[in-house]
Structure 1
Amino acid sequence: MLAACLPGVRGARPGTTPAITPSDVRSRIYVIADDSMLGRQSGTVGNFKMTEYLGREAARMGLEPAGDRGTYFQVVPMVMRRPDSSSRLIAGTDTLGIFKDFVPFRPTSTARVGTRIDIAGLQAVFGGRAGDTTVVLDKALVAGKLVVLDAPLGSNGQPTATYTTAGGTEAMKYPGAAGIAIASLDLQSSPQSFQRQGSGISESVVSSRGPGGILITTLAARKLMGRDLGGLNPGATGLPVESRIGFVDSAVKAPARNVVAMRRGTDPFLSSEYVAVGAHSDHIGVASGPVEHDSLRAFNRVMRPEGNQTRAATPTAAQWRTILSLRDSLRKIRPPRMDSIFNGADDDGSGSTALLEIAEQFASQPRGRRSILFVWHTGEESGLLGSMYFTGHTTVPRDKIVAQVNMDMVGRGRKEDTPTGGPLNLQAIGMRRLSTELGDVVDSVNGARTVPWEIDLSFDAPGHAQNRYCRSDHQNYARHGIPIVYFSRGYHQDYHVVTDEAEYIDYDALSRVAGFVHDVVAALANRTDRPRVNRPRPNPLSPCRQ
């Protein structure tokens, strides 16, 4: 019924062909990243419209439904979740302010924290450096208390804003604590994003029990402990804490759905095995207010070259002159244009589009030996929630998934987009972490191309500060021991900004990425043996580690 009432859903199909072409990927992205999709946030009408489009396209191609009850859809139990603005935190006699001194962070597939912190007068306890597994305090010391932690360290030895792995680690160490407080709020590139309503997984899937999580400023940490964290030893006690911190949950505005389709294999033995290939259908919705598109792009070009991945700073006089010069040059082309919708053309309109093109090409070709599973996950932007649900409730036997290939942000990658970019640059993450044979397949397919990609493995380095291995949907397959490879062309100035629009996509390169991924999947589907897991398997309940 909801689909029938949605304007713009019917008849939105572009006239694509089985071949993967720049014109086809362009026509699809202009549908997916249109304002009518309202930023595609999971649990909203915009993402529902997106999944309707994907389901119709899968049916048009003749793909087999592989969702729930003979449909293309798997409903993910989600809620709309926002921080409770009445949350309070008192350290001794100091009242700390929500969104100023602290913010609660939502449970995700890696940071499996609770959703509340309720404390009545117990002293805060210093837990050392967040994520440091060599420090484990006595359970009795932290029971019912707030464990205050210094910011985790990145691979460069410097404090990092990345907190999910550290938060999940501390929650596992101290299940009896009331909460964990990580002093990294000052480091966040976009602290205002914590105020935005987002999606959360229902408590029927992930329990809200266990310590809740908050990020705090350095000043708040000092108030909680009574002195600077640098002068404390783990186990030191601070001031008495009063807290009532939590979230307000409400019903989703539309069902949150993974889209799942299949091209069944032909081999009498191997057709019961699956090569999964995926992307995420969601983005981050609508901003609280409009901004001027070209002014923001000019600012980010100078000050935030990786968009919201880059921490904001105040421009110098010289930087302001450059920003204004860039803005004025754009004014000569067009008048000001206001925007408030995060259209996510690259993140991950590009991956969703590539997956449609790959599926359409497979649907037109003779079937391979193994079956191919096409999954458009929802809820990636909310903490990999759609893929967490899918891998926990697979619609095919999970142990029959031989590999997963993930695409996220594969539509840019020019030199002007990212310092590591270029026409042949393609980032690959995780392809030998569980199975060296999977990495060999990728290299073999690439080596056979007329013009091979320059595979960039730099972001796969253990402990990399950007933590990319843990930040997209492949991670939930890997935690269950399924070999993965994650392809991307990197961050850019429009990452998680309303300026991530279809006009900036490199359509020639995107079609080549899609063609390459098609060939990798075909090679996996047709080889005799599944990629052997010959590296250590992770504990599926442990936080992901880069």
Structure 2
Amino acid sequence: MRHYLKFLAVLLFASCGNDQKNTATVAEVDTGTIAKHIERLASDEFLGRKPFTEGETKTVNYLKDEFKKLGLLPGNGDSYFQDVPMVEITGSPSEKMVISGSSKTIELDYLKDFVATTNKAVPEVSLKNSELVFAGYGIVAPEYGWNDYEGIDWKGKTAVVLINDPGFKSGDSTLFKGNEMTYYGRWTYKYEEAARQGAAGLIIVHDTEPASYGWNVIESGWTGARLTIASDQPLLDVESWMSGESAKKMFDASNMMGQDFKALARNKDFKPVPLDLNVSVSIKNEIKKDVSKNVIALIPGTERKDEVIIYSAHWDHFGIGKAINGDSIYNGAVDNASGTAGLLAIAEAFKKSNPTKRSIAFIAVTGEEQGLLGSAYYAENPIFDPQKTVANINIDALESPGKMKDLTITGYGQSEMDEYAKEAALEQGRYIVPDPDAEKGYFYRSDHFNFAKIGIPALYASGSYEGFDKSIEEIKAIKDDYLTNRYHQPSDEYDPKKTELSGVQFDLQLFFNVGLKLANEDYFPKWYDGSEFKAARE
């Protein structure tokens, strides 16, 4: 607090001393600007903003033009765009996954018992009598002295692993992070690590509580066309999930019959266990390649231009899809026209303020709804040096139930960005709520995560618990209504007569204030000890 007030005092003093006509007040993020851009981006004109469609073309050109009108420079050399090569893979798995042993064969049914996909852009992939090996939680975490893959040559083999990480429901707060999920618990990590180990395939055993969603989510989310980005990272032939019931059949048919495989996997001395079983499954693919775009704009700093604060938000949504109540355009007003409009409103506020010492970049990323693809591509192909990128402030799906007393920080306890957020919240008369669902791993489910992976401390927060004018119960009812009736539905629309944006403005003002402080000091926020992202920064 004292540091922040001192900063403002210095700024005011410098302004008065150097230019009596210039007053260094903190600019207001304009509610009218927010409303204008949400209404436009969430209109039917933009066709649901899906990559590879006319909706994308309209969206990225609109953002480019609006950044240009504000006087922001192109963020990628002389271009406002970063091309993101993507591959659309429509896979058709075999109807059966066959698990065979010396004395028993199990046939699993597609969708009912298993799902299977691939990110390899080839006409067909398969596992043919691939040896199955139980690899616990599928984690290699040197900071915890943990290696579930040790001692096995994984070439041609298929790993079977559990979802989440060993700390979940262990009763031991010192085991990983206790109930709070680490990145090692996310399914994305598990596929990445298995590929790094040289495995041919990976099967994740589904369990509703540690996954935080039921098998129905696996059924719907792992079928149809999938987008992925071109990458130099190793890939598995087959990425699969197996239902808990099917996994029990598999373990009962293996040499682990009768053993508590969950307890075994939680032991720090765990070593991978060959199951004396093989698996066979195949996938035929239809492949389409195209290029989507991240939109990047820049306000250069006055003294340390190469040190950058990045504001991010995803511009994409689901386009035109299945009609619900006669409406087939998935407008995505909250998710994420709100965040995209927020980028433009914050950029406008910075342009109204005095120039900052550090540079400010605004990145509207593509493909978030398909798996954080635009931010993942940026992380592999960064335009600004990650070691000189001070921090990321990510904006995603801001609801508008009014001004909120709380600021709920997803991923609280990861980095010193918590302290910046606390200070800015206190200035607004707010209090901090640590992530109430830390065991669900929401920190790994939006674009800030890909910045964190390359060592950039990230803030992902919003008011979502208690309003100044609405009770905790009222706020919960509003959130539940959105999740039940509008989230990822055509009904996520903007109605200027019914939507009041004071809560959105309040959050965006806080994000602006945090960025303003970072942009005028020389300190680099640090990851806390125990964060899995600290090593990437150091």
Tell me the residue number matched to 2:220.
192
Pairwise CA RMSD: 3.5
CA deviations over 1:89-142 (Å, ceiling 9, x no partner): 2223554333332223566xxxx9999862222443333345596563565475
What TM-score results when the alignment is normalised by the length of structure 1?
A: 0.73
Map 1:350-365 → 2, pairs under 5 A: 350-365=338-353
Map 1:18-37 → 2, pairs under 5 A: 20-37=29-46
Tell me the residue number matched to 2:432.
455
C-alpha displacement of 1:70: 0.5
Tell me the residue number matched to 2:455.
481
Map 1:97-112 → 2, pairs under 5 A: 97-105=109-117
Q: 2:239 aligns with which of 201, 210, 213?
A: 213
Map 1:54-69 → 2, pairs under 5 A: 54-67=63-76, 69=77
CA, structure 1 residues 535+240, in 2 after alignment: closer, same or farther (shift >3 Å)? closer
In 2, distance between residues paired with 1:114 and 1:482? 34
CA, structure 1 residues 495+163, in 2 after alignment: closer, same or farther (shift >3 Å)? farther
Is the 8 Å Cα contact of residues 33 and 349 (structure 1) preserved in structure 2? yes
CA, structure 1 residues 467+540, in 2 after alignment: closer, same or farther (shift >3 Å)? same
Is the 8 Å Cα contact of residues 61 and 360 (structure 1) preserved in structure 2? yes
In 2, distance between residues paired with 1:159 and 1:515? 29
In 2, distance between residues paired with 1:519 and 1:115? 50
C-alpha displacement of 1:400: 1.8
CA, structure 1 residues 36+100, in 2 after alignment: closer, same or farther (shift >3 Å)? farther
Q: Kindly provide the amino acid, as one letter, of the partner of residue 24 in structure 1.
A: T
2:283 aligned with 1:249: no
C-alpha displacement of 1:87: 6.7
In 2, distance between residues paired with 1:426 and 1:71? 35
Helix, strand or coil: the match of 1:499?
Answer: coil
Is the 8 Å Cα contact of residues 114 and 207 (structure 1) preserved in structure 2? no
CA, structure 1 residues 74+167, in 2 after alignment: closer, same or farther (shift >3 Å)? closer
In 2, distance between residues paired with 1:357 and 1:29? 11
2:304 aligned with 1:282: no
Tell me the residue number matched to 2:8.
none
2:368 aligned with 1:380: yes
Tell me the residue number matched to 1:340.
328
Helix, strand or coil: the match of 2:161?
Answer: strand
C-alpha displacement of 1:280: 0.9
C-alpha displacement of 1:407: 1.1
Q: Kindly provide the amino acid, as one letter, of the partner of residue 511 in structure 1.
A: Q
CA deviations over 1:219-268 (Å, ceiling 9, x no partner): 4334544549883456252543222136433123xx3111110111222x
Tell me the residue number matched to 2:23.
none
Tell me the residue number matched to 2:258.
231
Helix, strand or coil: the match of 2:198?
Answer: coil
CA deviations over 1:263-294 (Å, ceiling 9, x no partner): 11222xx233111111111123333x2222xx
Unaligned residue ranges in structure 1 (runs of 5+): 1-17, 293-337, 415-421
Tell me the residue number matched to 1:76.
84
In 2, distance between residues paired with 1:219 and 1:391? 38
Unaligned residue ranges in structure 2 (runs of 5+): 1-26, 171-178, 209-213, 262-271, 465-478
CA, structure 1 residues 465+505, in 2 after alignment: closer, same or farther (shift >3 Å)? farther
C-alpha displacement of 1:218: 2.5
CA, structure 1 residues 496+163, in 2 after alignment: closer, same or farther (shift >3 Å)? farther
In 2, distance between residues paired with 1:264 and 1:468? 32
Is the 8 Å Cα contact of residues 414 and 531 (structure 2) preserved in structure 1? no
In 2, distance between residues paired with 1:339 and 1:163? 39
C-alpha displacement of 1:485: 0.9
2:148 aligned with 1:136: yes
In 1, distance between residues paired with 2:289 and 2:50? 14
In 1, distance between residues paired with 2:190 and 2:284? 20
Map 1:258-273 → 2, pairs under 5 A: 258-267=294-303, 270-273=304-307
2:531 aligned with 1:531: no
In 2, distance between residues paired with 1:164 and 1:536? 15
What TM-score results when the alignment is normalised by the length of structure 2?
A: 0.74
In 2, distance between residues paired with 1:114 and 1:132? 29
Helix, strand or coil: the match of 1:502?
Answer: coil
Tell me the residue number matched to 1:508.
502
CA, structure 1 residues 113+149, in 2 after alignment: closer, same or farther (shift >3 Å)? farther
C-alpha displacement of 1:189: 5.1
CA, structure 1 residues 171+524, in 2 after alignment: closer, same or farther (shift >3 Å)? closer
Tell me the residue number matched to 2:410.
429
Identity of aligned residues (%): 26
Which segment drifts farther, 81-90 or 533-542? 533-542
Is the 8 Å Cα contact of residues 118 and 236 (structure 2) preserved in structure 1? no
Q: 1:441 aligns with which of 415, 420, 433?
A: 420
Helix, strand or coil: the match of 1:55?
Answer: helix
In 1, distance between residues paired with 2:358 and 2:32? 30
CA, structure 1 residues 74+81, in 2 after alignment: closer, same or farther (shift >3 Å)? same
